[in-house]
Amino acid sequence: MRSRQRMFAAVMRLLLKCLRLGRRRRFKLVRQVEQLWHYAHLCLRSLLYNSFTNGDVVLDSLFEPVYWLVDHVTRWFGVVFVALVIGLTSSIVAIVYICLLPLILQTYTPAWICWHLAYGHWNLIMIVFHYYMAITTSPGHPPQAKNDLTGISICRKCITPKPARTHHCSICNRCVLKMDHHCPWLNNCVGHYNHRYFFSFCLFMTMGCIYCSISGWEMFRDAYAAIERMKLLEKERLQVAANQTYYQTPPPTFSFRQRAFHKSVVYLWVLCSSVALALGALTLWHAALITRGETSIERHINRKERQRLQKKGKVFRNPYSYGSWDNWKVFLGVDVPRHWLTRVLLPSPHLPHGTGLSWDLPPCVTEQRAPLLAI
């Protein structure tokens, strides 16, 4: 009798504990829902409270989850993009050496052979050098100590000194000196110390793709016509095989080596032409920015500042522009005439002018820059 009573008491205690746990979980869930509701209500009030709130602020707030997703996806897929660039470039180089170079050595004159060998290998060296330097070179970051710099602002995101032309990269989660943009194909930011490497890579890659497209145009036409003949003969062979008699012989078929050769030439021409169009447009865009002495981010900032001053009857002058020709000399690091050969046409790891923390007048600039504002 006592054992039954003890068992019944144990069962009742267990049921009471389960009920208490159930109540606690329900209360916890209710508290979480209330917290989310209060947080959403606070966010809505913060958007409506500020008198400077406009449609752009509301859209930025609504798209903040999308920005967060893009930043994190870009950060993780940067390695994939770099591997893709290396893989595609290596495939083009392999096709040139295996398929096209023997044909060039057999059919071209000695002068054209020397030209193709010299220009092709020079262009390849420039592409590999500048891409490697753009990936491995840090764009430059401001110092963490606040005492090192005076008279500058503080970044609101990483709470570090923010010199002029410095911007915060949400993907790298750091401030970058003279930031242009974050390039997923480099898995790196384009900033003060690797901006020249990035532009040179785009330029020489575009030149290489144009060179391959123009040089391989006749080969592409022949290869495309050969592939069409392959398809036609394959269709005829299947028809003959279906109605084959002792007096009919199937048409000849192409070997695997012939098929691979023609398809490789078509692949090379299509890929190089596509990259030349896309990357060429990007290169022209950055060339225009360099001519004006501004980065991609500064273009949007300067445009808004130009519109604001225009309403007041004033003209905006870019304080970091020294004129078209001098802007290119500062960007490429050309101090003396021989640098056009040693620093532009040949691989050169020289550093850019300045430290990215202050922007004094470079020694290669002959004229003083224009004032910031002109009436």
Beta carbons within 8 Å of 174's beta carbon, 6+ residues apart: 141, 158, 168
| Measured CA distances, 77 to 199, 201, 331 (Å) | 22, 20, 30
24/13 Cα distance (integer angstroms): 17
Alpha carbon of residue 7 to chain centroid: 71
Known catalytic residue: 114?
Answer: no
C-alpha distance from residue 101 to each of 67, 75, 95, 182 (Å): 47, 38, 9, 37
Which residue type is seen at 354? G
Q: How far is CA 104 from the centre of its chain?
A: 35
Dist CA 105 CA 208 (whole Å): 20
State the catalytic residue, choosing from 175, 183, 202, 272. 183
List phi, psi (to 5°) of 321: -105, 130
Cβ atoms < 10 Å from Cβ of 339: 17
Q: Strands, E, within 141-284: which ranges?
A: 153-154, 161-162, 167-169, 174-176, 181-183, 188-190
User: Residue 4, class by beta-carbon neighbours within 10 Å (0-12 exposed, 13-18 middle, 19+ buried)?
Assistant: exposed
Q: Is residue 154 within 8 Å of residue 160, measured between CB atoms?
A: yes
Q: How far is CA 305 from the centre of its chain?
A: 27
Quote helix, strand, coil % in the chain, to nearest 5: 65, 5, 30
Could you give the residue numbers annotated as active site? 183
